[in-house]
Amino acid sequence: MTLRQAQDIASPILEMRGITKEFPGVKALSDVNLVVNRGDIHAICGENGAGKSTLMKVLSGVYPHGTYSGDIVFEGETAKFANIRQSEAAGIVIIHQELALIPELSIAENIFLGNETAKRGIIDWGRANREAIDLLARVGLRENPLTPVKNLGIGKQQLVEIAKALSKEVKLLILDEPTAALNDDDSQHLLALLEGLKEKGITSIMISHKLNEIEQIADEITIIRDGQSIETLSVAAGGVDEDRIIRGMVGRDLENRFPDHTPSIGDVLFEVRDWTVMHPQDSHREVIRQANLSVRAGEIVGIAGMMGAGRTELARSIFGRSYGSRTSGSLVLDGAELQLNTVTQAIDAGIAYVSEDRKGLGLNLIDDIKTSITAAALKKLRTGLVVDEHKEVVVAEGYRKNLNIKAPSITAGVGKLSGGNQQKVVLSKWMYTDPKLLILDEPTRGIDVGAKYEIYGIIQELARSGRGVLVISSELPELLGLCDRIYTLAEGVITHEFDRSEATQESLMRYMTADARK
């Protein structure tokens, strides 16, 4: 063994020490430490929102040096990346969950995009295509480099991304949820490829929710929870199984973060039967398969699932088929079967949907509080053609007082409110439609603790008034604290139904990460 090799084994390729990253009002990362050994496949696990992606953005220079505190030591040198270009030059390449390929361009064009084999600005396409063929061979993809990327399946596109990374002389490859969108065969192929790269000396960091895959491939696992690095487990040392990882991911105490609530639950109010939804662009891909669920009057029902499990897709397909194609199955509300083809019909039938995407789908950010609150139920304010502005003010003031919306006045723009107050405006909007069933998708995402408590109180009040509430959340403590019943969803399949008394974070996590399609 040469001295050089000995050094390689002894020294880690990457050390991140005491990384702290703050956004206005939120501490996303707090004193995170990560050590990645050369030639390893290092997995990072954690719940949604734990800070995994933020950590990788710090590492790859998306958040430039100076916007975080702590040190990054890469290849023995302190790294101060100002942008992605510099981190790539150092040999760190990140492949994001949403692929960054341009569908209309060819494989070769995509591989060398931003890194063109050019002389004085003129691209040498012959050389580019020859090199592309070599790179494709290395990732085991037998395709003509002139093929447009849009003609490839999602699995092959993933391989093109990796080929692109290889073209940049990658030393450390970061994969964010690489198998989330892949089927089993493609996933196995990708994992095999990663092991092949490992043998060629390329270190990988892999973020994944699929614990069985992590167990299969990773050398070490770092667990991140609530913006802190909790522990690093060595798979080689043994004793690491899915249960052990889950315990690390969720291991925190349930604080007393919920208002007191005594549920009074009535008869079945809403039922979803044999609900199957296809992907809107790919009408053969099942996003939701044969889902059955029910909500009783006065009941808060939770849906637990990892990102990409189909939670939002399920909710939106119920809400007037605002997602999906070839939707089949039936919806029953108050004993009557519903035929909902548009959002308007869903609202008229008494269904409300509070989107997870508050700024994209929930609010018109250039509007004021008053207009936002009445936007979904203008019918109720209409006399003839005209909006009754006096009644509108009364309604808006009523909700502002009732839900404690903190703003100088109801004519204040919603774009300037904090997340919690924006969410209260959205809730007001849907409460004013007087729904029988409310579907709340991530109702407390991006909201501080105090406002969360208030939102929980509002949700409980809605249930107490005899409405059915369906809550989708990534935060398991939130579901456990709030819900009377919880369904787990994995890969578009409802995998289990828990009563409040029998659910724990560990048991939920087990069914959320289950291999549902087998």
Partner 1 sequence: MNALLNTLRGNVRQYGMIIALAAIVILFQISTEGVLLKPLNVSNLVVQNAQILILAIGMVIVIVARHIDLSVGSVAAFVGAAAAIMMTQYDFPWWVAVFLGLLIGTAIGAWHGFWVAYVGIPAFIVTLASMLLFRGLTLVVLKGATVGGLPEQFKAIGNGFLPEIGPDTGLHNLTLLIAVAAVGVLIFLEVRRRNAQMAYNFDVLPFPLFVVKLALLTIVIMYFAYLLADARGLPIVGLILAGLIVVYTFIMNKTVFGRHVYAIGGNVDAATMSGVNTKRVDFLVMMNMGLLSGLAGLVTTARLTAANPKAGVNFELDAIAAAFIGGAAVTGGVGTVVGAIIGGLVMGVLNNGMSLLGVSIDWQQAIKGLVLLLAVAFDVWNKRRTAGSGGAGAEAAEPSAPPPDKLAEEIEAMEAELSVDSNDPPKT
Least distance from partner 1 to the Cβ atom of residue 384, Å: 9
Give which of 344, 274, 350, 357 is closest to 312, Cα–Cα: 357
Q: Does 371 bind partner 1 (CB under 8 A)?
A: yes
349 with 374: CB under 8 angstroms? no
Segment interacting with partner 1, rule: CB under 8 A, options 28-36, 51-59, 132-140, 361-369: 361-369
Binding residue count for partner 1, defined by CB under 8 A = 69
- Please select the residue that binds partner 1; options are 128, 462, 470, 516, rule is CB under 8 A: 462
Site for partner 1 in 5-44 (CB under 8 A): 24-25
Segment interacting with partner 1, rule: CB under 8 A, options 79-87, 220-228, 402-410, 488-496: 402-410
Q: Does 448 bind partner 1 (CB under 8 A)?
A: no
51 with 224: CB under 8 angstroms? yes
483 with 300: CB under 8 angstroms? yes
Least distance from partner 1 to the Cβ atom of residue 254, Å: 19
Give which of 26, 25, 19 is closest to 67, Cα–Cα: 19
- ∠ Cα 439 364 361 (to 5°): 35
Q: Does 416 bind partner 1 (CB under 8 A)?
A: yes
Segment interacting with partner 1, rule: CB under 8 A, options 35-43, 198-206, 280-288, 415-423: 415-423
179 with 191: CB under 8 angstroms? yes
- Please select the residue that binds partner 1; options are 197, 395, 483, 490, rule is CB under 8 A: 395
- Please select the residue that binds partner 1; options are 259, 263, 280, 477, rule is CB under 8 A: 259
- Please select the residue that binds partner 1; options are 151, 328, 402, 504, rule is CB under 8 A: 402
Q: Does 467 bind partner 1 (CB under 8 A)?
A: yes
Strand 386-387 with 382-383, pairing? antiparallel
Take residue 321 and report the two structure tokens written for it.
């088929």
Q: Does 97 bind partner 1 (CB under 8 A)?
A: no
Q: Does 429 bind partner 1 (CB under 8 A)?
A: yes
- Please select the residue that binds partner 1; options are 78, 264, 409, 504, rule is CB under 8 A: 409
Report d(CA 173, CA 158) in Å as an integer.
13
CA separation, residue 419 to residues 208, 287, 365, 375, 473 (Å): 28, 30, 12, 19, 16
20, exposed or middle or buried, with CB in 10 Å at 0-12, 13-18, 19+? middle
Residue placing its CB nearer to partner 1 in the complex, 49 or 259: 259
Residue placing its CB nearer to partner 1 in the complex, 74 or 270: 270
Residue placing its CB nearer to partner 1 in the complex, 35 or 343: 343
Q: Does 57 bind partner 1 (CB under 8 A)?
A: no
- ∠ Cα 95 100 102 (to 5°): 145
435 with 468: CB under 8 angstroms? no
Q: Does 464 bind partner 1 (CB under 8 A)?
A: yes
Residue placing its CB nearer to partner 1 in the complex, 115 or 342: 342
Residue 161, CB-side half-sphere exposure with 13 Å CA sphere: 25
Take residue 444 and report the two structure tokens written for it.
């407390």
Site for partner 1 in 301-360 (CB under 8 A): 319, 322, 342-344, 346-348, 353, 355, 360
Q: Does 365 bind partner 1 (CB under 8 A)?
A: yes
Residue 446, CB-side half-sphere exposure with 13 Å CA sphere: 15
Residue 435, CB-side half-sphere exposure with 13 Å CA sphere: 27
Least distance from partner 1 to the Cβ atom of residue 420, Å: 10
438 with 470: CB under 8 angstroms? yes
Question: Which stretches of the chain bind partner 1, using CB under 8 A?
Answer: 24-25, 259, 319, 322, 342-344, 346-348, 353, 355, 360-367, 371, 375-376, 378-379, 382, 385-387, 389-390, 393-395, 397-404, 406-412, 416-418, 421, 429, 431-432, 434, 450, 453-454, 456-458, 461-462, 464-465, 467
